[in-house]
Amino acid sequence: MEILMAWRNVWRNPRRSVLTILAIAFACLLLIFMLSFQFGMYEVMINAAVKVQTGHLQVIAKDYDKDMKMRWVVEDPQAVGDLMLAVPHITAHTFRANGFALLSSRDRTYGGMVTGVLPAREREISSTASTIRQGAYLEPGDTNQAVVGSLLAKNLHISVGDELVLLGNARDGSIAATVLNVKGVFSSGMDEYDRSAIQIPLPYFQEVFAMRGAVHQVVAVCDSLTAVGPAQSTVTGNLPKVKSKRNLECKSWDELLPGLIQSIQMDLGGGIIFYLILIVVVAFSIMNTFLMAVFERTHEFGTLMAIGAKPARLTKMLLYESAFLTSCGIILGIAAGCALTIYVESTGITLGEAQGMLRQYGIPNVMRPELSWLTAVTGPFVVFFITMLTALYPAFKVRKLKPVEAMHAI
Amino acid sequence: MQLQLAWRNIWRNPRRTLIILTAVVIGAWTMLFFGALSRGMAESMLTNSINNLTGHIQIQKQGYRDDPVVENRINDPTPIKALLDQDLPPEAKWAFRIEVNGVASNARNSKGVTIVGIDPDREPDLSFYGQSVTEGRALRPDDAHGILVGQGLLDSMDTKPGRKIVLMTQGADKETASRAFKIRGVYRAELEATEKRYVFVTLPAARKLLGVKNAVTSACIRLPEREQVGPMAETLGKHLPKGLSLLTWEDMLPLLTGYLSMFDSFMFLWYLVVFVAMGFGIVNTTLMAVLERTREFGLLKALGMKPARIVRGVLTECLILLLVGLVAGNALGLLTVLVLSGGIDLSFMAEGSQYFGMSHLIFPKLMARDVVAANGVILVLGLLVSLYPALKAGRITPVEAMAQT
């Protein structure tokens, strides 16, 4: 009964109701789109960083991530690798070793980070192989071949087929020197990485840098981001079984990239404050509708009470009215928000002049929002909650009405 | 008369008016405060970048910017010195530098760094150099073997003041040149990346390392105000010796410049969004205020009032509402910015803010332009949307109004 009355009351003043519904719908639409956009961006940033650099999990000597010291090694990578094979959700793993070196071409010298990789396994883990611009990626049988970051290649004035002299410190402190052949040039899209990275086959790296079979990182990827946590604790639990001079530790991508996570938190935090303020502005906008709906009907409520309607029933009816209004707005908002998001998801947004800036953070030129249950429902839910909160005031105010006085009101 | 009428009409229903005022106040406050905050962040990024050895204007050999190597050096800097001494205002600062990429190494570690040869007397006015030497001391002009390194580099190379560091780079003869330096002091910078990247030696020491005589790679200029850069660059550009290029900070920081140029559109878009949220409330409230006064407007018309006057009356009411809201909102925004003018500490997010190249202390910056834009958006659009209820009121006919109970 109250439901029917409430529904009809909503449409007694269609213009007002439609405006209110539109205000709520606008807030929902905006929240859905912006949240989808932000989350889409974060996922791209995370994936880019994980794919290009860290992988989901790494087993390293303690503190190697903070300070890449040559002597902090994983001495028995095979043992760690065997351990990883047994962990569920870990889909692939590989070994890497890194050393800083001076790279000289015919007429230029630059410093760079040399990484020894296992070409076949690296393909399954990182995106470097797929971002080769020139030449080809490393093959398992290669020896003194190298793939070079595009900006480093540009700085060194080299291209595929050129020679490159490498000069660095080996694990034992001696000098590591060799001549490399440039086999390919890659462009990961992350300028910082492309400016300094060079990859050579791991066995050759171990020989040149006197690694004696050791590596620096055992990198693993999981089947999904959510599986990283459990996989990490399993690996950490099993690590003490592997013998090593310096304690080993297993770190996840978010621990390896604290700057990335904090920048995401910062962006999201700023976004949330902004959204809350927006919702509050909307709430004040529609609070008037709810209030008016009560005050202009004082006479009516008086009559209803006089013929025996309990205050509780009036409150209930008013809350139903607000709920109807809000729900209509939210449904409309979700529909429009999802439609807009899906449309932009298919077309993408180009960022014009800002794209160069964003490339630094690994964000591609075309950004796409990503609609998920979380982004589609969170915003509208908060809007519903806050608008219903504002509706409480008039709904309870009505209880204080005295039938006689109320019926005197016009 | 009309003004007084409108003012009284507004307060016929104080509760309703107060609620809509709150919406306008919060809207205006948000626009101002968050506008100031974002400007502060952008300003922080810009200040950091300019302090980061960029300066306001640099004079370099053509091609050095794309390929910053010793080959692209300026062999004889005397004409530049003459030019700068003549053309620059006395309060402007400038200095020569040698800036090349190289490697710093000790027994255990090697790191890629940018070697900066500086004039110890002049450099402190130009960049972060010398502002925060935490251990040891800054370089002295005659120091042939001293080096100043960042805390970040010091830590990652496991060394301390007094120890040696070998710098390696490509010399003028294209061979690898190296030279040992003693750590005289340690500096701290806003960003850890900066501390890890730059090492400072004296200009003569850098020349010796590279095997050049009087050469420099750039002259860096800092003017008292950023606004003077454009005209000054033009003046200097006219007399610039051949083969040299003059770069302003906008040329040297293209990414940041692009971002800043988009900043205004971002802000405006954002004002619009907040306004739309608020606009629904304004329309609805005014509409209700109009519709419940149908009888009154009908009566006024029957008494001979022109529709235009009714429209004007309703618009005046809206205008008063908006103005009162704006005054309060602006006052609140100003107050917030004032209270937070000591800076907002983001150090709990230090690594996140470093990621964006910002300091951990953000100073909200209220710009006249933003204040005008925010108030303009609210006022103009606010009046525009209240046209709808106002016209509605103007169209009420006496007959239908009287028929309504």
* pLDDT, tens digit (0-9, with 9 covering 90-100), for B106-135: 877 888 899 999 998 888 888 888 777 888
For the ranges A190-199, A211-220, B106-115, the one whose mean pLDDT is highest: A211-220
Touching check for A101 and chain B: CB below 8 Å? yes
Extract the tokens encoding B69. Answer: 């190597």
How confident is residue B208, by pLDDT bands cut at 50, 70 and 90? very high
Q: Nearest by CB to B258, from A71, A264, A353: name it.
A: A353
CA angle B10–B11–B13, rounded 5-degree value = 95
Alpha-carbon Rg for chain B in angstroms: 31
Cβ pair A258:B351 closer than 8 A: yes
Q: Is A243 on the interface with B (CB under 8 A)?
A: no
Separation CA A344–CA B346 (nearest Å) = 33
Whether residue A331 is found in the same domain as residue A206: no
Lowest mean pLDDT of A126-130, A301-305, B262-266, name the range. Answer: B262-266
Q: Is the pLDDT of residue A160 over 70?
A: yes
Instruction: For A202, list phi and psi in degrees, rounded to 5.
Output: -60, -45
Q: Do A230 and A345 have their domain in common?
A: no
Domain annotation covers residue A54: no
Global pTM? 0.78
Residue B396 has pLDDT above 80, yes or no: yes
Q: What is the pLDDT of residue B71?
A: 84
B287 touches chain A (CB under 8 A): yes
| In-domain check, residue A77 | yes
Verify whether the Cβ–Cβ distance A70 to B67 is below 8 Å.
no
Whether residue B283 lies within 8 A of chain A, CB to CB, comes out as: yes
* Residues A35, A38, A41: CA angle, nearest 5 degrees: 145
- Give percent above pLDDT 90 in chain A: 25
Any idea of the CA torsion for A73, A79, A85, A87, to the nearest 10 degrees? -80
Beta strands in B171-295 (DSSP E): 176-187, 198-202, 218-222, 244-248
- Residue A74 falls within a domain, yes or no? yes
Q: Is residue A253 part of a domain?
A: no
Query: Are A238 and A132 within one domain?
Result: yes
Instruction: Kindly state whether residues A175 and A83 are assigned to the same domain.
Output: yes
Helices A373-397 and A311-347 sit at what angle, rounded to 10 degrees? Answer: 160
Q: Are B149 and B169 in contact (CB under 8 A)?
A: no
| Residue A114 forms part of a structural domain | yes
Portion 337-366 of B in contact with A at CB < 8 A: 346, 349-356
Question: Does A123 lie at the interface with B, CB-CB under 8 angstroms?
Answer: no
Nearest to B197 by CA among B95, B53, B45: B53
* Nearest-CB residue to A16 (from B109, B262, B287): B287
Task: Classify residue A56: in a domain, yes or no.
Answer: no
Q: B82 — contact with chain A (CB < 8 Å)?
A: no
User: What does the pLDDT average to over A43-72?
Assistant: 85
For residues A32-45, give the mean pLDDT. 86
> Per-residue pLDDT for A147 more than 90?
yes
Q: What are phi and psi of A103, to 5 degrees?
A: -110, 125
Q: By three-state DSSP, how is residue B378 classified?
A: helix
Q: Mean of the pLDDT values across residues B281-296?
A: 84
Chain B: closest CA distance from residue A350 (Å): 13
The answer to whether residue A343 is domain-embedded is yes
Determine contact: B26 vs chain A, CB below 8 A.
Answer: yes
pLDDT for A359 equals 60
Chain B segment 215-234 residues within 8 A of A by beta carbon are none
Q: Which one of B110, B288, B355 has the shortest CB-CB distance to A168? A: B110
Residue with more model confidence, B168 or B259: B168
Do A290 and A266 share a structural domain?
yes
Residue numbers in B near A278 (CB within 8 A) = 273-274, 277
pLDDT value at position B257?
Answer: 82
Q: Which of A186, A142, A136 is nearest to A161 (CA)?
A: A136
A235 and A273 together in one domain: no
Residue A354 has pLDDT above 60, yes or no: no
* Residue to substitute from A66, A357, A410, interface B, most B β-carbons within 10 A: A357
In a domain, A292, yes or no: yes
pLDDT digits (tens, 9 = 90+) for B47-99: 888 888 888 999 998 888 878 888 888 988 888 888 888 888 888 889 999 99
Sequence-distant (6+) residues with CB within 8 A of A194 are: A149, A150, A151, A152, A186, A187, A188
How far is it, in rounded angstroms, from Cα A254 to Cα B317? 55
Task: Domain count for chain A, please give it.
Answer: 2
Q: Are A133 and A185 in contact (CB under 8 A)?
A: yes
**What value does the mean pLDDT take over residues A300-321?**
86
* A·B CB contacts under 8 A: 164
Boundary of a domain, candidates A193, A220, A246: A246
Asked if the ipTM is above 0.85, the reply is: no
Mean model confidence pLDDT for chain A: 86
Is residue A68 over pLDDT 60?
Answer: yes
Instruction: Say whether both A230 and A283 belong to one domain.
Output: no
- Residues of B within 8 A of A291 (CB-CB) are 15-16, 19
Mean pLDDT within B148-167: 90
Select from A169, A259, A360 the Cβ nearest to the Cβ of B352.
Answer: A259
The verdict on A264 and A387 lying in the same domain is yes
Question: Are A271 and A324 contained in the same domain?
Answer: yes
Q: Contact A157/A108 with Cβ under 8 angstroms? A: yes
- State the nearest Cα–Cα gap between B85 and chain A, in angstroms: 34
- Of A200, A220, A246, the residue at which a domain comes to its end is A246
- Which of A196, A224, A246 is at the close of a domain? A246
Domain that holds residue A213: 63-246
Residue A292 to residue B19, Cβ atoms within 8 A: no
Q: What mean pLDDT is reported for chain B?
A: 86
Same domain, A367 and A300: yes
Nearest one of A45, A201, A49, A357 to B46, comparing CA atoms: A357
Cα(B305)–Cα(B296) distance, integer angstroms: 11
Range A35-41 average pLDDT: 87
Contact B170 A108 (CB under 8 A): yes
Of A78-82, A269-273, B351-355, the poorest mean pLDDT is in B351-355
Q: Is A353–B261 a contact, with Cβ atoms under 8 angstroms apart?
A: yes
CB B212 within 8 A of CB B206: no
Q: Is A248 on the interface with B (CB under 8 A)?
A: no
- Tell whether A368 and A235 lie within a shared domain: no
**B156 and A67: CB-CB below 8 Å?**
yes
Residues A97 and A207 in one domain: yes
Lowest mean pLDDT, pick from A262-271, B255-264, B351-360: B351-360
**Which of B273, B274, B352 has its CB closest to that of A262?**
B352
